[in-house]
């Protein structure tokens, strides 16, 4: 039991760290590699490099630090079996298996029976990787595969290293339990990541329309304004938009009809800006108020044409409600970020002034800096 307890203790913490590192590399590895190497690099190959470093370290500890053979085998087998269910790149995984095979040179002094079993273990790991999606689809499939691979891998180790059967079964049990713990920890990390992503989405998006939120708008506007004022980016424009006669719709048809208008307007804008060649971001900044940031180098005529063309196509759009199809119209105020815009409020006030000018002029129209200054 001392052997079991010692191996379980050290391998338990190794696998937790290994699982966390794999998740971190999958999430951030490509971004960090591109930042440091200035070239894109798939996370699969970064994982291969990490696993190989682990295997080399285990081998060095086995050779030079007199690491126990059981501990070395548990660490190596655990890393290989776990990564076989994580890597999606088949070519990368086969490269890992090839490098793993070479690390065992001279292959137990070319003992052909041991070598054949070793090749069989690698082939089974390749099969696990090939069937990873199917195995991950049901928990019992994965645990069955892990149990089977535990017996095969530890049967090989018993044959190759001439270890007693009772110790081998004990280590196989230890190995299986640790793999179960590692899978549970993996699920916990994935769940936590999804919860964080959901919370981030909820804080940055409006729950009714799916447009980005006012808080996200203020952050993005501050960033673009600072970049533009400092001359680091080409012209950036802010359009403030307000649905026309929205209160009348709510009063006559109810708030559900108003909600339908808001959702239809957001969907229509998303479809429209998908075809635009420069970045445009839509935000819901009030009840029936929306904002659009136009960046990426559009000049004033291009930004104006974007919005006038949108108004023309919006005239043909109808929002489906329980009371029938209702028309959608919007008034828009457009302004460019200026060097004198020291605060977001200055920029927003100017765009709002243009918006209200559009309302006074009859609604369903665009008012820009040039039109206001001309008046």
Positions annotated as catalytic residues are: 288
Beta bridge partners of 259: none
CA 75 to chain CA centroid, Å, is: 29
Q: How far apart are the first and last CA of the chain?
A: 90
| Structure letter (DSSP) for residue 138 | S
Q: Among residues 50, 55, 40, which one has the least CA distance to residue 20? A: 50
Which residues lie below 8 Å from residue 214, measured CB to CB, with a gap of 6+?
283, 284, 285, 286
Evaluate whether 3 touches 170 at the Cβ level (below 8 Å).
yes
HSE toward the beta carbon, residue 368, CA cutoff 13 A: 13
- Residue written as token pair 């001279």: 106
Beta sheet of 280-284, edge-to-edge order: 280-284, 289-294, 237-243, 330-336, 366-367
Q: Among residues 265, 329, 269, which one has the least CA distance to residue 293? A: 269
- Token pair of 314 as six digits: 């919006």
């Amino acid at each position: 039991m001392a052997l079991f307890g010692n191996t379980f203790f050290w391998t338990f913490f190794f696998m937790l760290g290994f699982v966390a590192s794999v998740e971190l590399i999958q999430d951030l590895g490509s971004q960090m590699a591109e930042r440091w190497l200035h070239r894109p690099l798939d996370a699969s190959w970064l994982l291969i490099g990490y696993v190989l470093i682990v295997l080399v370290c285990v081998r060095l500890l086995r050779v030079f630090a007199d690491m126990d053979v059981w501990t070395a085998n548990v660490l190596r087998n655990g890393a290989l079996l776990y990564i076989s269910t994580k890597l999606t790149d088949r070519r990368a995984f086969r490269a890992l298996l090839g490098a793993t095979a070479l690390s065992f040179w001279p292959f137990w002094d070319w003992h052909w029976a041991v070598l054949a079993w070793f090749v069989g273990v690698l082939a089974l790991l390749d099969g696990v990787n090939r069937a990873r999606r199917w195995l991950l689809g049901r928990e019992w499939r994965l645990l069955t595969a892990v149990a089977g691979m535990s017996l095969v891998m530890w049967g090989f180790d018993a044959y190759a290293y001439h270890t007693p059967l009772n110790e081998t079964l004990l280590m196989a049990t230890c190995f299986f339990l640790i793999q179960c713990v590692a899978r549970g920890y993996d699920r916990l990390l994935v769940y936590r990541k999804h919860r964080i992503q959901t919370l981030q989405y909820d804080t940055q998006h409006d729950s009714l329309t799916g447009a980005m939120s006012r808080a996200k708008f203020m952050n993005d506007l501050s960033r673009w304004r600072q970049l533009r004022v400092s001359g680091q980016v080409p012209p950036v424009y802010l359009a403030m938009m307000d649905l026309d006669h929205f209160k009348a719709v709510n009063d006559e048809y109810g708030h559900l009809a108003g909600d339908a208008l808001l959702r239809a307007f957001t969907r229509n804008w998303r479809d429209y800006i998908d075809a635009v060649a420069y970045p445009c971001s839509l935000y819901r900044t009030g009840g029936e108020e929306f904002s659009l940031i136009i960046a990426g180098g559009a000049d004033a005529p291009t930004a104006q044409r974007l919005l006038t063309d949108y108004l023309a196509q919006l005239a043909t759009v109808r929002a489906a409600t329980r009371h029938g199809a209702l028309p959608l119209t919007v008034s828009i105020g457009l302004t460019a970020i200026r060097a004198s815009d020291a605060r977001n409020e200055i920029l927003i006030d100017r765009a709002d002034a243009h918006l209200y000018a559009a309302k006074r002029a009859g609604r369903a129209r665009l008012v820009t800096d040039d039109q206001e200054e001309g008046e």
